[in-house]
Amino acid sequence: MIITLLPLITLFISFFILMLGFGLIGILLPVRMGMEGMSTDTIGLVLSMYAVGMLMGGLYCRRLISRVGHIRIFSASAALSAIAILACSLTMNEWIWGAMRMLMGFCIACAFAVIDGWLSEASSDKTRGRILATSQVVVMAALFCGQFLLNLAPPTSQTIFIVAGILLCLALIPLIMSRRAGPVIHETQGMSFKQLATLSPLGVVSCFFGGLMYAAMVNMLPVFAANYDISGFELTLYMASAILGAFLLQFPVGMLSDRFDRRTVLFYLLVVNIVATLIIPWSAQNQWLSIMMLTTAISTGIFTCLYPMSISETFDKVQRSDMAAAMGGLLSIYALGSIFGPLSSSIVMKHLGHDALFVFLV
């Protein structure tokens, strides 16, 4: 597997830097909107526009990649994301922020389609789970580091927005300077949700709920934490613990999914997750921050494992030439779940209290 991954090192470096910028953006925007006094449901609506963009990206990424290639699409995605976050620094208008979040979501869907499609073509049935888990490890490591960049300057200043824009532009350099060409582009027909669900019903369902639960968890955690006066560096540590759990669980879960039946692995993961998720609000009420961080790490980690597991489950059942079409469909399904996650969880939190987030997730 190491021999397979070594030629892709520049791809991983570019992806790491890109997700480092998105990790910073992910904590910056909800924190800044909270400081500006926006209501919880408004914050949830703005954040869910990211998933609307992901849905559009999932629908069109295959066509764009077929037209101009993997490397150009990744480069365009990084550049447009930088434009979007810098535009957010110029105004606090929620409509503009929503539009820019949609653009970011479109770009990240295209970037994920490039990465996952590239890696899937380079892998075999026996190594696909571990290789896609390695990609998720890179993502989570970048998101983990991105949380700490929030402390470079006050969130009320433009400095953090500029830093995020610089990182997104920097992500272009390793990939476009590499001598390695992108994978061969196959002419493929699109794959409908019905076709995907017929081929792999488990892949489709786990992909949808993975997007719903992860988006609700990550986007609304800063709002939940603010209710318990968790802010500043303590908030950074708490959010970083969530990402750290996702980082640590990817590779062992990927190995288990390659070695054992994925349905069995998924079942036991969700049982553990239900228990961990219920403990989070209880530990917050008792001000046991260490237990709160541990259970949040477990819960978020399992949520993030659902996406690569759903890809592996689906790709086991499709022909190699159809992987690009299946990837676009899975991204769209994941994005559909991500749309409902922040929006529905924010409504629940508004009417039933901040702790209701975790009842919603269970």
Q: Which amino acid is at 86?
A: L
Q: Residue 187 domain-assigned?
A: no
- Comparing CA positions, the residue from 162, 137, 173 lying closest to residue 10 is 173
Q: Residue 308 domain-assigned?
A: yes
What pLDDT was estimated at residue 184?
60
Q: Residue 260 domain-assigned?
A: yes
Indicate which CATH number applies to the domain containing 79.
1.20.1250.20
Residue pair 144/244 in contact (Cβ under 8 Å)? The answer is yes
Query: How far apart (Å, rounded) are the C-alpha atoms in residues 230 and 235?
Result: 5
Q: Residue 3 domain-assigned?
A: no
Q: Which amino acid is at 293?
A: M
Query: How far apart (Å, rounded) are the C-alpha atoms in residues 308 and 120?
Result: 11
| Alpha-carbon distances, residue 218 vs 167, 337, 341 (angstroms) | 21, 13, 10
* Prediction pTM value: 0.69
Q: Residue 184 domain-assigned?
A: no
Number of domains in the chain: 1
Going residue by residue through the chain (362 aa), what tens digit of pLDDT does each one get? 555 556 567 778 888 898 888 888 887 887 788 777 777 777 777 877 887 888 888 777 777 877 877 788 888 889 999 999 999 888 888 888 889 989 998 998 888 878 777 776 666 656 666 676 677 778 778 877 887 888 777 777 888 899 989 999 998 888 887 776 666 655 556 666 777 777 778 888 888 888 888 888 887 887 788 777 777 777 778 887 887 887 788 777 777 777 777 788 888 888 998 999 899 888 888 878 788 888 988 888 888 888 878 877 777 777 666 666 677 778 778 888 888 887 788 888 877 877 888 888 88
Q: Residue 1 domain-assigned?
A: no
Question: 20 Cβ partners below 8 Å, 6+ apart?
Answer: 142, 143, 145, 146, 149, 167
What pLDDT was estimated at residue 33?
81
Q: Which amino acid is at 199?
A: L
What pLDDT was estimated at residue 339?
80
Residue 270, number of CB atoms within 10 A of its CB: 14
Q: Residue 2 domain-assigned?
A: no
* Domain of 108, in residue numbers: 8-178+192-361
Q: Residue 291 domain-assigned?
A: yes
Residue pair 137/251 in contact (Cβ under 8 Å)? The answer is yes
Query: How far apart (Å, rounded) are the C-alpha atoms in residues 64 and 61?
Result: 5
What pLDDT was estimated at residue 211?
87
Query: How far apart (Å, rounded) are the C-alpha atoms in residues 350 and 41?
Result: 7
What pLDDT was estimated at residue 217?
85
